[in-house]
Amino acid sequence: MDARLGDVIDDFCVKCRRLTNHSVVSLLNGAAAKVRCRTCYSDHDYRNEQAPPSKKDLKKAELFNAVLSGVAPPSAAPEAAAAEAEPKKAGKKPGKRAEA
């Protein structure tokens, strides 16, 4: 995208907390670097029309990763135990209904 200074583009405004029209204020390698909201006139970095993740979602991801790091990776021993358990299930005695 070859933007020019003053062009109007859509972006997520952090102050308004919604997608609004913005004017390009600064360019970097032909792309918008900083923009100014045309509703509240606040300047911020161009966010590519994406809202930043909420603090709640970041906290959930952090807790999820902490739980996963505490879990030991599965070893070969559970696989061997599962293979031995299958023949035992096949040799199980029938229930009371099957005996009658």
Q: What is the CATH number of the domain that holds 58?
A: 2.30.30
Among 19-23, 53-57, 58-62, the least confident range? 53-57
Tell me if 54 is assigned to some domain: yes
Backbone angles phi, psi at 83, to 5 degrees: -65, -35
The CA distances from residue 65 to 52, 56, 57, in Å, are: 20, 14, 12
Q: Classify residue 50: in a domain, yes or no.
A: yes
Task: Answer whether residue 36 is part of any domain.
Answer: yes
d(CA 47, CA 66): 29
At residue 77 the predicted structure's pLDDT band, cuts being 50, 70 and 90, is low
Residue 2: pLDDT above 90?
no
Asked whether the predicted pLDDT for residue 28 surpasses 70, the reply is yes
Do residues 19 and 8 lie in contact, with contact meaning Cβ atoms separated by under 8 Å? no
Q: What is the pLDDT of residue 40?
A: 94
pLDDT at 50: 85
Q: Is residue 85 part of a domain?
A: no
Domain assignment of residue 95, yes or no: no
Could you list the residue range(s) of the whole structural domain that residue 25 is in? 1-66
pLDDT at 68 over 90: no
Q: Give the total number of structural domains in the chain.
A: 1
